[in-house]
Structure 1
């Protein structure tokens, strides 16, 4: 079976970065990092489904992007840990957008608890979203991308926690992100014959609504249990003099989703301001 990855050397740069005519799904896309990713994909021309547990926020984000960029944008409720929910989102992309070319597994959880105090339910929930969710989204996307032979691109939002441990209390998160990074490699091998590339993007801490809320909740939970958590100052590890912002990560995702990265699959790109050097 031929591998349908063309040589794009003669394609103009403006066309390589363009996603005009393509269709995308971004999970966890209603706010924060996911919304920034959805915005750059829409600006590049994709029609898009913003999938999120919060259907109201997803709908509002979709309306905003449609108005800004003149693309077709839909909001949909999605529980990425539930097979039927993920499949329904993928089917909606086919039915209402006409196909599926890009899928971004962005939805994730960031709880924090020392191992000795971590309940089974926390571990299971983190893996249900951060690892199982990546698997389900990738599988359902690839099944549909393979139907017409066009292939596509899957981008998994990993984390620097897929490379290292930043501070204590991160066992479930770090393990789930290492799993997602490993899954990215394996998916790339399995899906290449179908014309599907799979890439990871690993941000450092970005101060989004969700990340700030998770950090605050973790600190309060630890304090209530009489445990002191002292996360490192991420600015100490930035080599560019500032923290990343959501659009910093979104631009890397755009590169991964576009034909600019045609030669790449299986890699996880560090978008971390040099933190992991």
Structure 2
């Protein structure tokens, strides 16, 4: 069986980092971490499709990135929990960009509630986005990456919750992120013969709009149940003395998506400022 991964040892650092001529898809790309990832991929030269539930925000982000970096950036509404919606987005990427070389499964939700108060709907929605969404995105990306034999890279945005439990109320989130980390390993095994590498990036808490809103909502639910939760500022402690930023994570994703990481597949990179040491 042939495993088509080139030896890139003789190529320059500039060439290894470049994504010029490549086509990338980022889910949950209208704001926060997804938008930061899309920006770094665009800066490296990739043409992009931005996917988000908020079509207007995705369109605005696409226009901004196209103007800033001079690459082609399309956008579309898609629901990562719906197979037909994800397939349609992947088809749009092929139609608009000519193919898919990089797919970033970034879309995620961060609900938290004490387990005794967690409704079925919260559990189901969390796994639908954070686990099923990774599976659907990876499957549709792999189908198109392998159609012409060109291969590619799938990057799954996981979380330090894929390897630990930071505080109470995270049963659904932690479970879904452990699932995503396990899928990253299994997908790498399945897809290596097709020339597709699969990597995870696991950030610690990054204060994006969505993460802050979810953390506050969880703290309020816990307080109503008489359960003490850690304050938000507990997440600011790290070995580097500050919280991570979206661009901190985006740079790690760029490494994973580029040929700098050619030797790697199945691994999850901990972008956590030492939190899990």
Normalization by structure 1: what TM-score? 0.98
- After TM superposition, list the pairs within 5 Å mapping 1:126-145 onto structure 2: 126-145=126-145
Aligned residues of 2:169 and 2:218 also touching (Cα < 8 A): no
Aligned residues of 2:49 and 2:93 also touching (Cα < 8 A): yes
Distance in 2 separating the partners of 1:96 and 1:35: 19
- Corresponding residue for 1:254? 254
In structure 1, stretches of 5+ residues that fail to align are none
* Deviation, structure 1 residue 221: 2.5
Aligned residues of 1:24 and 1:49 also touching (Cα < 8 A): yes
- Corresponding residue for 1:93? 93
* Deviation, structure 1 residue 92: 0.4
* Deviation, structure 1 residue 217: 1.5
* Deviation, structure 1 residue 226: 3.8
- Corresponding residue for 2:30? 30
Q: For 1:146, what is the secondary structure of its paired residue?
A: helix
Aligned residues of 1:166 and 1:231 also touching (Cα < 8 A): no
- Corresponding residue for 1:271? 271
Q: For 2:125, what is the secondary structure of its paired residue?
A: helix
Q: Over residues 154-206 of structure 1, what are the superposed CA-to-partner deviations in whole Å (9 max), with x where a residue is unaligned? A: 00000000010000000000000000000000000000000000000000001
Q: For 2:230, what is the secondary structure of its paired residue?
A: coil
- Corresponding residue for 2:216? 216
Distance in 2 separating the partners of 1:217 and 1:74: 33
* Deviation, structure 1 residue 220: 2.1
Distance in 1 separating the partners of 2:97 and 2:235: 40
Distance in 2 separating the partners of 1:49 and 1:201: 20
Distance in 2 separating the partners of 1:11 and 1:209: 39
Distance in 2 separating the partners of 1:270 and 1:194: 26
Total equivalences in the alignment: 276
- Corresponding residue for 1:123? 123
* Deviation, structure 1 residue 231: 4.9
Normalization by structure 2: what TM-score? 0.98
Aligned residues of 2:35 and 2:61 also touching (Cα < 8 A): yes
